[in-house]
């Protein structure tokens, strides 16, 4: 690990961490707390995806919808209005909206072929954004003068790596740059995430093999064809399975770093609390 002992972590003039885990367990909250101290640079993977790698596709999707409205179409064609996404660390809705959901077009669904293409574009974008971590860590220090750096990853990082492979290219690169920190939720956290998702289902990225198997099984079990599928019903049905699919992958990734919990994050009040928390997870 980048910091082999608690003392090495405490003595480091430049602390760099990468946090990962299920969406909704506190990654962005923790990043915001550290950013608010004024000493930490917050690198958001999802923000980078939405502004750098998928920004044009997101804007074009919004323009395509606007072109269906005669009033807006005329204004767009005459360059009288501008359409763009307003992505922030706390509001990543433009990315999720572009990613979409498969199923009945009348209910806002996408054909599976188009949905799969967007999934692949997102996969490539997330990997590229993760590979930019070293660049932004250096940029934060050299350009802006930040002493410390936190990489706030998306929930799907575990889908694009093989944590059982000690030579996994992406994990090897990231672990050389940052201390990997898993935010591990328990069963109660998982059930709360499922309840929260059921109230407001949101698009998410899936490993291609998992998505193909889930889609085929859903159609078979419900005796449906593609156009019959309620998009929200499908992603609700898939969500708990996706969490179960990811849990052992996160668990294996934890061997590359240290583990904390959402309750640990909830108890933090200042950056020194975080420094102490990580030190307590490292060998003495």
Q: Which CATH class is domain 6-46+102-278?
A: alpha beta
Q: Which helix (H) or strand (E) holds 214?
A: helix 208-221
Q: Where are the domains of the chain?
A: 6-46+102-278
| Separation between Cα atoms, residue 149 and residue 145, nearest integer Å | 11
Helix, strand, coil percent content, the chain, rounded in steps of 5: 60, 10, 30
Sheet holding 148-152, edge to edge: 40-44, 148-152, 16-20, 179-183, 257-260
- HSE at residue 14, side-chain half, CA atoms within 13 A, is 13
List the pLDDT tens digit at each of the 284 positions of the chain. Answer: 899 999 999 999 999 999 999 989 999 999 999 999 999 999 999 999 999 999 999 999 889 889 999 999 999 999 998 888 888 777 778 898 999 999 999 999 999 999 999 999 999 999 999 999 999 999 999 999 999 999 999 999 999 999 999 999 999 999 999 999 999 999 999 999 999 999 988 889 999 999 999 999 999 999 999 999 999 999 999 999 999 999 999 999 999 999 999 999 999 999 999 999 999 999 99
Other Cβ atoms less than 10 A from the Cβ of 187: the count is 7
């Amino acid at each position: 690990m980048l910091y082999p002992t608690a003392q090495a972590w405490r003595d480091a003039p430049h602390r760099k961490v990468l946090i990962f885990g299920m969406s909704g367990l506190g990654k962005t909250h923790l990043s915001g707390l550290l950013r608010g101290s004024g000493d930490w640079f917050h690198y958001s993977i999802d923000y980078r995806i939405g502004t750098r790698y998928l920004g044009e596709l997101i804007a074009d999707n919004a323009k395509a919808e606007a072109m269906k409205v005669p009033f807006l179409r005329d204004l767009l064609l005459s360059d009288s209005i501008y359409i763009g996404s307003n992505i922030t660390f706390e509001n990543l809705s433009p990315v999720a909206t572009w990613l979409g959901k498969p199923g009945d077009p009348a209910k806002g669904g996408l054909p599976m072929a188009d949905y799969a293409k967007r999934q692949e574009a997102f996969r490539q974008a997330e990997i590229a954004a993760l590979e930019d971590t070293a660049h932004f860590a250096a940029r934060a220090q050299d350009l802006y003068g930040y002493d410390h750096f936190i990489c706030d990853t998306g929930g799907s990082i575990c889908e694009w790596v093989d944590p059982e492979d000690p030579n996994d290219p992406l994990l090897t690169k990231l672990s050389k740059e940052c201390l990997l920190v898993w935010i591990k939720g328990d069963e109660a956290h998982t059930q709360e995430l499922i309840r929260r998702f059921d109230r407001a289902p949101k698009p998410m990225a899936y490993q291609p093999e998992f998505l193909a198997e889930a889609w085929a099984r859903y159609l078979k079990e419900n005796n449906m064809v593609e156009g019959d599928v309620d998009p929200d019903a499908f992603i609700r049905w898939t969500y708990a399975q996706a969490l179960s699919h990811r849990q052992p992958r996160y668990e294996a990734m934890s061997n590359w770093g240290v583990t904390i919990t959402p309750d640990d994050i909830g108890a933090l009040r200042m950056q020194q609390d975080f420094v102490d928390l990580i030190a307590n997870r490292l060998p003495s």
